Amino acid sequence: MTKTVLEVTDLVRHYPLPKESLTAPPRYVYALNGVSFSIEEGKSFGIVGESGCGKSTLARNVMALESTDSGSVKIMGKEVVGLSFNELRPHRQHFQMVFQDPYGSLDPHHTVGRIVAEPLAALGRLSRQEKDERVAEVLTSVGLKATDVSKYPHEFSGGQRQRIAIARALITRPSLIVADEPVSALDVSVQAQVLNLLRDLQDDFGVTYMFISHDLAVVEYLCDEVAVMYLGSIVEKGKTEDLFARPAHPYTRILLDAVPQPAAGKKRDRIRLSGSVTGQTERRVGCAFRDRCPMATDKCAEETPALRQVEDGGHFAACHYSEEMIQRATA
User: Are 208 and 42 within 8 A, CB to CB?
Assistant: yes
Mean pLDDT, range 41-48, rounded to an integer: 96
| pLDDT per residue as tens digits for the range 173-217 | 999 999 999 988 788 888 899 999 999 999 999 999 999 998 898
SS3 153: helix
The pLDDT-based confidence of 276 (bands split at 50, 70, 90) is: low
The pLDDT-based confidence of 150 (bands split at 50, 70, 90) is: very high
Q: Is pLDDT of 2 > 80?
A: no
- The CB density around residue 324, as the number of other CB atoms within 10 Å, is 13
| pLDDT per residue as tens digits for the range 72-127 | 999 999 999 999 988 998 888 899 999 888 888 899 999 999 999 999 877 777 88
Every domain of the chain and the residues it spans: 245-331
Give the model's pLDDT for residue 29.
Answer: 93
Task: Report DSSP letters for 58-76, one per residue.
Answer: HHHHHTTSS--SEEEEEET
Mean pLDDT, range 230-247, rounded to an integer: 95
Give the model's pLDDT for residue 275.
Answer: 66
Q: Is pLDDT of 296 > 60?
A: yes
Q: Which helix (H) or strand (E) is 311 found in, with range?
A: strand 308-311
How many percent of the chain have pLDDT more than 90?
68
